[in-house]
Amino acid sequence: MESGIEKSETLRDTVREFVERKAVTNTILGVIIFNAITLGLSTSPSVQSSIGPALVLIDKIVLGIFVAELLLKFYAYRLSFFNNAWNIFDLVVVTLGLLPNRDGLSALRGLRVIRAMRLLSVIPQMRAVVQALLDALPGMGAVIIMISIVFYVFAVMATLMYGPDFPEWFGSLGKSLYSLFQIMTLESWSMGIVRPVMEVHPTAWIFFVPFIVITAFSVLNLFIGLLVNTMQSAVEDESVEEFSHLRELVRSETDIVDDRVKELLVEVRALRREVAELKGQTDG
Amino acid sequence: MESGIEKSETLRDTVREFVERKAVTNTILGVIIFNAITLGLSTSPSVQSSIGPALVLIDKIVLGIFVAELLLKFYAYRLSFFNNAWNIFDLVVVTLGLLPNRDGLSALRGLRVIRAMRLLSVIPQMRAVVQALLDALPGMGAVIIMISIVFYVFAVMATLMYGPDFPEWFGSLGKSLYSLFQIMTLESWSMGIVRPVMEVHPTAWIFFVPFIVITAFSVLNLFIGLLVNTMQSAVEDESVEEFSHLRELVRSETDIVDDRVKELLVEVRALRREVAELKGQTDG
Amino acid sequence: MESGIEKSETLRDTVREFVERKAVTNTILGVIIFNAITLGLSTSPSVQSSIGPALVLIDKIVLGIFVAELLLKFYAYRLSFFNNAWNIFDLVVVTLGLLPNRDGLSALRGLRVIRAMRLLSVIPQMRAVVQALLDALPGMGAVIIMISIVFYVFAVMATLMYGPDFPEWFGSLGKSLYSLFQIMTLESWSMGIVRPVMEVHPTAWIFFVPFIVITAFSVLNLFIGLLVNTMQSAVEDESVEEFSHLRELVRSETDIVDDRVKELLVEVRALRREVAELKGQTDG
Amino acid sequence: MESGIEKSETLRDTVREFVERKAVTNTILGVIIFNAITLGLSTSPSVQSSIGPALVLIDKIVLGIFVAELLLKFYAYRLSFFNNAWNIFDLVVVTLGLLPNRDGLSALRGLRVIRAMRLLSVIPQMRAVVQALLDALPGMGAVIIMISIVFYVFAVMATLMYGPDFPEWFGSLGKSLYSLFQIMTLESWSMGIVRPVMEVHPTAWIFFVPFIVITAFSVLNLFIGLLVNTMQSAVEDESVEEFSHLRELVRSETDIVDDRVKELLVEVRALRREVAELKGQTDG
């Protein structure tokens, strides 16, 4: 039994070493890029009609490689596999490709392509960029919640006030949220939505103009907060180093003076001893 | 009488303690969230038809709780109730729910929902975010007044110049202000408004293009001012602390040297005394 | 003769003192605000029909006051009147109100309203804001010229390439410049302009997408340059002061040490003299 | 032979000196500006009909001057001609004017105008601005690649999912990329594209709203990164200088103290010698 466990541990180590090997990760990267290209080619009807079956086969092989890679990784790391957010990301985007792929479900057909997003998880520089984007999120939490509350309240109000007359835009809470998002992006907010609404409810601008001003101002503050945070930590690092150099300099310079004064003190004390001796001689 | 006043003071204190109790504020928060959800549900016709009367009842109970809370607070703090802007906010949004609620006045029906905005006044983190947004306003005052003057003058001009030909957009001062706001947000400004206007007044671009440039540039400066202020105070705090540390260091380091020099001075003076004594001996 | 010149000088001084008097500038400010309101009222047909003639009369009186004010100022400051850019601004906006005001020339009718912009030149805080906006311009000069060159070249190209097929948008250099400005603001650029153009010239996106990217990137850099300048001078002022304090501290602290060391030197030299004397005694 | 090479070298130097002469570069600048104006004039049908042939002649002469200038430069610098990116820029934009110019190829007719972009390469300040824009690019590389991957994946998905129903917008990978670019700029994204798509695929917002949020957030971070970099290097330069001054001051001030202490040390040592002598005397 024990040797069985040992063997399994050895095998696990071998597998771990294998999946972490440079050649293997590079091969996987190559497969991802190759698959990204074949997925792109599969959008062309002419390519589809000439080498369509080949593309389907390639897709199945690539999916097989990805599944094998994930299984090996899961075998190698066991549950600590899930400690790495990128593994979970890979798991999700690969799993989406295993969903049934009927012709009727064109949405699911598209989801399969999300697998090419693995380019972001496999290239280290891309990981760093995505990480930086995600790191910015927590600092934005409170403002995002505030904007969400404002959105929710305005959406409920819009549904109650304008829903009956404009069911297409404000007929339900979901439709109102979508329409308010569109208005926040300023797309056709006036010509497309608010002017028609004002023909029925002439005071509707009292609702929509403040909504635009509030969300624009909130998004602006979100952005300023993000910017100040990034800037501050950048400037801080720089300045902390400069200050630390300066402190070091002040210390070392005063130490030099201090050392010389100490030297002087030794001399003066020696002098006192000599004078004391002299005094003793004279006394004698 | 005196004991009556005392009793009333005691009662006031008890009430104040009660409304400030953690359990009570949490209950109120729970009621607000619950009410926000029921208000959301009331937008759905299917929910409305099945449990509509229950939702109306819940709404009345919640309103009763809010009114009771405000009355207790007002009893507890008396006029200092109005010193807290958040109390005034709560008073206004709750009062809007007491307005008559006829079917014809769908606008008033919607206003009732604004009560869910109390989420912003009850959650401390949300209060902080809103406070930060409001704190940014005074620094923007001068630019906002400037933009308002520009808006007013351009609106009067647009009404006089284009009002007769385009009454829908520039027929009155209010309509012109709204249209100029739309143009400032760049929504359909050219295809929707200025190109049609230019068909009648071919030189209208001399009016609208500078308006867009001026307002865009002003808003940009508003934003830059806001950003520089936020950034400056953030960097300042950091840097002020570093400088104060450095000053402290310079002082303490030179103090060390100074102390040692003082020590030396004591030694030298003692030496002089001894030499003087020696001189006295030799003299003698 | 001499006394005549003196009299005139005295009168000039009196006039200058008069136009600079607080009560006079406040009265002028009051007249401007009053005129801004009457100009606003004159946009309303109902007001126009009831007190129209009164408004016209008020307008003439206000214009008379403004002309009188400018003449007095010009008399008081003579040619140095033109040294102040705000005086030139006032002169221009008041002069525009003297233009013939026929019913047919609705554009000129509107121009008269620009006089209300004097609010910006009379209120000191507004002057400061406008000054700050204008101060930002020189730093933007080079980028603005670059954007102008790009605009000109793209406009000539668009006129030659798309003018024949789309005379309404690109029929002349002026029309192309206007359309490119619209495209730069992203208003209906695709649905309104580029998609229709692509139906005739399928490769038009090679022209328009780079144009959007280049101008967006240039405007972004314009904005960043402006922001960095503002920020830098703000941070600089702060930091220059802190550094100057710190330098002062370093100087004063080392001066204290230096003074004490000097004191020590005096003591040691006195000691040497005494030892020399002692030596003389012993020698003797 | 040798003298032949020498002659050629001398000629090369003369040519180099000639093309670098201030008068020559200014003449070229004048020709570019003149050509920019004639190219602008050639867009006007009335100018075309009156002096069209003259303009064509001018264009040919200008092109001849440019070709001559480039040939001289190429002769003077030989292959190091290609080390300067601006030379390559000039070569490309001039070459575009040599392309066949048939009436049917209106696109090629327009390309000729790009030659006026030489204004950017000839005026030193414009070069500096363009250089600054290009210098900003490398720092944006990683984010731009990330956005490209996101664009590619979303475009493939959109083509597969919405291509069959909306061939005009998502019929091919290229069309999808263009439509997604339009959506990223927020132009008519909802009214023009997503609402029609949602009529067939009601859940399409799950695809488009995240796309907008992700690209907006990425572009925002691109911008913040750019801004922080620019700002940091600006603040750094300033602060590095201040710190270097301060370090210099700390050094010089402590050197003064140190020198005085050294002076003191010399005195004390002299004193010791004298005391030692005194001791010797007393001993004797």
What is the four-CA torsion angle of A42, A43, A47, A53, rounded to 10 degrees?
30
Q: Per-residue pLDDT for C137 more than 90? A: no
A46-105 residues touching D, CB cutoff 8 A: none
Closest CA to B157 of C54, C107, D74: C107
Q: Please report the pLDDT score of residue D6 as a whole number.
A: 67
Q: Render B178-224 in DSSP notation, one character per residue.
A: HHHHHHHTTTTIIIIIIHHHHHHSTTTHHHHHHHHHHHHHHHHHHHH
**What are the structure tokens assigned to B185, written together?**
């947000």
pLDDT band at B50 (very low <50, low <70, confident <90, very high): confident
d(CA C55, CA C34): 11
- Region A196-203: mean pLDDT is 92
- Residues A195, A197, A203: CA angle, nearest 5 degrees: 90
**CA distances in angstroms from C139 to B213, C131, C132, D232, listed in the order given:** 17, 14, 12, 19
8 A C-beta contact, residue D254 and residue A256: yes
Contact D188 C188 (CB under 8 A): yes
Q: Please report the pLDDT score of residue A215 as a whole number.
A: 92
Q: Please report the pLDDT score of residue D196 as a whole number.
A: 94
d(CA D189, CA D183): 5
State phi, psi for A221 to the nearest 5 degrees. -70, -35
Measured in angstroms, the CA of D153 and the nearest CA of chain A are apart by 6
Q: Please report the pLDDT score of residue D271 as a whole number.
A: 82
Q: Please report the pLDDT score of residue B130 as a whole number.
A: 86
Q: Which amino acid is at A193?
A: I
Interface test with A, best of D149, D235, D277 (most A CBs within 10 A): D149
Q: Per-residue pLDDT for A31 more than 70? A: yes
Q: Per-residue pLDDT for B282 more than 80? A: no
Nearest to C275 among D178, D264, D278 (CB): D278
**Does C272 lie at the interface with D, CB-CB under 8 angstroms?**
yes
Q: Please report the pLDDT score of residue D284 as a whole number.
A: 55
- Region A197-222: mean pLDDT is 91
Q: Please report the pLDDT score of residue C188 as a whole number.
A: 92
Q: Please report the pLDDT score of residue A175 as a whole number.
A: 93
Contact D265 A268 (CB under 8 A): no
d(CA D64, CA D67): 5
**Does A263 lie at the interface with D, CB-CB under 8 angstroms?**
yes
Percentage of chain C exceeding pLDDT 70: 92
Q: Per-residue pLDDT for C31 more than 70? A: yes
d(CA D24, CA D17): 10
Q: Per-residue pLDDT for B211 more than 90? A: yes
**Does C151 lie at the interface with D, CB-CB under 8 angstroms?**
no
Residues of C in contact with D260 (CB under 8 A): 258, 261-262, 265
Q: Per-residue pLDDT for D43 more than 80? A: yes
Q: Per-residue pLDDT for B45 more than 80? A: yes
pLDDT in tens, B88-110: 888 888 888 777 655 555 556 67
- Range scoring the smallest mean pLDDT among B97-101, C148-152, D111-115, D227-231: B97-101
- Range scoring the smallest mean pLDDT among A86-100, C38-52, C83-97, C103-117: C103-117
Q: Per-residue pLDDT for A159 more than 80? A: yes
Sign of the CA dihedral C197, C201, C202, C205?
A: negative
ipTM (interface predicted TM): 0.82
Q: Per-residue pLDDT for A237 more than 80? A: no
Q: Per-residue pLDDT for D231 more than 80? A: no
8 A C-beta contact, residue B155 and residue C39: no
Contact D106 C164 (CB under 8 A): yes
Q: Per-residue pLDDT for A282 more than 80? A: no
The beta strand positions in C219-284, using DSSP E, are none
Measured in angstroms, the CA of D137 and the nearest CA of chain A are apart by 16
Residues of B in contact with C125 (CB under 8 A): 142, 145
Q: Which amino acid is at A218?
A: S
D196-215 residues touching A, CB cutoff 8 A: 201, 203, 205, 207, 209, 212
Q: Please report the pLDDT score of residue D170 as a whole number.
A: 93
Nearest to D110 among C160, C227, C235 (CB): C160
Long-range contacts of B91-97 (CB under 8 A, 24+ apart): B93/B117, B93/B118, B94/B63, B94/B66, B94/B67, B94/B70, B94/B118, B97/B63, B97/B66
- Range scoring the smallest mean pLDDT among A25-29, A129-133, C107-111, D179-183: C107-111
Helix (H) or strand (E) holding A49: helix A45-77
Residues of B in contact with C270 (CB under 8 A): 272
- Residues C89, C93, C97: CA angle, nearest 5 degrees: 160
pLDDT band at A195 (very low <50, low <70, confident <90, very high): very high
**Does D259 lie at the interface with A, CB-CB under 8 angstroms?**
no
Sign of the CA dihedral D222, D226, D231, D236?
A: positive
Q: Please report the pLDDT score of residue D4 as a whole number.
A: 60
Q: Please report the pLDDT score of residue B197 as a whole number.
A: 94
**What are the structure tokens assigned to C35, written together?**
């005129």
Residues of B in contact with C136 (CB under 8 A): 221
Contact B235 A232 (CB under 8 A): yes
Range among B178-192, C18-32, C74-88 with highest mean pLDDT value: B178-192
d(CA A282, CA B55): 113
Contact C110 B205 (CB under 8 A): no
pLDDT in tens, A45-77: 888 888 878 888 888 898 899 999 889 888 888
Phi-psi category of A129—alpha, beta or left, where left has phi over 0 and alpha has psi -120 to 50? alpha
pLDDT band at C153 (very low <50, low <70, confident <90, very high): very high
Q: Please report the pLDDT score of residue B136 as a whole number.
A: 78
Q: Per-residue pLDDT for A3 more than 70? A: no
8 A C-beta contact, residue B36 and residue B119: yes
Percentage of chain C exceeding pLDDT 90: 22
pLDDT band at A101 (very low <50, low <70, confident <90, very high): low
pLDDT band at C191 (very low <50, low <70, confident <90, very high): very high
pLDDT in tens, A32-48: 999 889 888 888 888 88
- Region C242-265: mean pLDDT is 83
Residues of C in contact with D277 (CB under 8 A): 279
Q: Per-residue pLDDT for B193 more than 90? A: yes
Closest CA to D264 of C278, B171, B265, C234: B265
Q: Please report the pLDDT score of residue C107 as a whole number.
A: 59
**CA distances in angstroms from B19 to B117, B124, C43, listed in the order given:** 20, 16, 53
Q: Please report the pLDDT score of residue C261 as a whole number.
A: 82
Closest CA to B150 of B177, B187, B178: B177
- For A211, how many CA atoms within 13 A lie in the half-sphere containing its CB? 29
Q: How many CB atoms lie within 10 A of CB A66?
A: 23
Contact C161 D40 (CB under 8 A): no
Q: Please report the pLDDT score of residue B284 as a whole number.
A: 54
Range among A22-31, A129-138, A249-258, C92-101 with highest mean pLDDT value: A22-31
Q: Please report the pLDDT score of residue C6 as a whole number.
A: 67
**Does D239 lie at the interface with C, CB-CB under 8 angstroms?**
yes
8 A C-beta contact, residue D268 and residue C270: no
Percentage of chain B exceeding pLDDT 90: 22
> Any idea what DSSP says for residue D132?
H
Q: Per-residue pLDDT for A283 more than 80? A: no
Average pLDDT over chain D, rounded to an integer: 84
Average pLDDT over chain C, rounded to an integer: 84
CA B146, chain centre distance (Å): 21
